[in-house]
Amino acid sequence: MEKIPFNKPHMTGKELYYIAQAHFNGMLAGDGPFTQKCHQWLQQHTGAARALLTHSCTAALEMAALLLDIQPGDEIIMPSYTFVSTANAFVLRDGVPVFVDIRADTLNMDEKLIEAAITEKTRAIVPVHYAGVACEMDSIMAIARKHGLAVVEDAAQGVMAGYKGRTLGSIGDLGAYSFHETKNVISGEGGALLIRDGELVQRAEIIREKGTDRSRFFRGEVDKYTWQEPGSSYLPGELIAAFLWAQLEEGAAITAARLQLWQTYHALLAPLEEQGLLRRPIIPEGCRHNAHMYYVLLPPTCDRDACIAAMKRENIYPVFHYVPLHDSPAGRRLARVSGELTVTEELAPRLLRLPLWIGLNTVLQGHICRALQGAMVKSMR
Ligand SMILES: *Cc1c(COP(=O)(O)O)cnc(C)c1O
């Protein structure tokens, strides 16, 4: 059997055509015609007041920390079960991540634990929509309003996913998307910051343009641009935006194709769940996910490393996911924990992600599921 990698970036076919157009236009810096197209698409599809392309989701999260004016010692509530950038963006401003446990069903931050983590120093809540499945945003927004906190959605995995009729990334004050090649809609490296309401837009544009009002200058709103506040360079060049435009145009088709693959796994693995061999993902009512990921939770008696090794011997490459941040060298030094992280600690070592990319088919997925079952049986402790 041919090698089945964990991920294969999907190309829509128009990427090089649009890159050639950008080349022909002779405009290669940021915020050219392709960037504008991407901004408009993102605004139309999310309802955000403003979308701004960035060179990564990491950059969008860093912009969020600057926009919220995070000061040394400010606390930011987030799950420990997330990617490092969620925490790093705030730590770079000397903020302190405060980790709360996750829900056993979605592996998202447990909204019921947030209030207990709030102190006088709390400034923001950062829900992470794991696998493109929404956090319980109604509760999170209500808690934030009650305590006067900002909400920054880490929607890196949530492009084109929804919650009760709204689009992920546009529910909190700020939202961050990723277009990294491992995500659904891609540009190699890439991301976007979504700004829900108008007030923060002007400062966001300044922070993204080296702390200057260059964006207003380009629109003819001021006659020269100057240094306005601390900022950096967060915008991607036009070649990246041209690539991304080819992907965004096909965003609906990409999501539909992935959802079909996701459903196939879900059906194929139902019998294993019935036998109590593994647990499949759970999608709560009101969540419209985007099939970013198909994972299974192995039983506690299964040795995950052995299981991965056994599948690799069949030329199939599943992968594990986050080492919880509170359990990392930097996390222990730079963050603190609120309450017990029992679910995080129990489930993180049991999670296995299966290959999911456009080009897989039912035959290959059947092969993967059979290999998984065989590997699990061999890996029981
Ligand atoms: C991928 C990811 C990021 C980082 O995205 P980049 O675009 O690579 O910076 C941040 N948070 C989460 C939850 C992610 O999955």
Mutate to test the pocket of ligand 1, among 7, 61, 83, 189 (most ligand atoms within 8 A of CB): 83
Q: What is the pLDDT of residue 181?
A: 97
Q: What is the pLDDT of residue 182?
A: 97
Ligand 1 site residues (CB inside 6 A) read 56-58, 82-83, 85-86, 128, 154, 156-157, 178, 180, 191
Using DSSP, state whether 129 is helix, strand or coil.
coil
Q: What is the pLDDT of residue 197?
A: 94
Mutate to test the pocket of ligand 1, among 109, 178, 185, 194 (most ligand atoms within 8 A of CB): 178
DSSP 173: S
Q: What is the pLDDT of residue 1?
A: 74
**313 class by beta-carbon count within 10 Å (0-12 exposed, 13-18 middle, 19+ buried):** exposed
Per-residue model confidence as pLDDT tens for the chain (381 residues): 789 999 999 999 999 999 999 999 999 999 999 999 999 999 999 999 999 999 999 999 999 999 999 999 999 999 999 999 999 999 999 999 999 999 999 999 999 999 999 999 999 999 999 999 999 999 999 999 999 999 999 999 999 999 999 999 999 999 999 999 999 999 999 999 999 999 999 999 999 999 999 999 999 999 999 999 999 999 999 999 999 999 999 999 999 999 999 999 999 999 999 999 999 999 999 999 999 999 999 999 999 999 999 999 999 999 999 999 999 999 999 999 999 999 999 999 999 999 999 999 999 999 999 999 999 999 998
* 57 alpha carbon – ligand 1 mean position (Å): 5
**Hey, what are 137's tokens?**
């945003």
Using DSSP, state whether 123 is helix, strand or coil.
strand
What's the rounded Cα separation, in Å, for the pair 246 and 160?
15
* 288 alpha carbon – ligand 1 mean position (Å): 20
Q: What is the pLDDT of residue 326?
A: 98
* DSSP-H helix ranges across 84-228: 84-91, 114-117, 137-147, 201-208, 214-218
Answer whether 0.75 is exceeded by the pTM.
Answer: yes
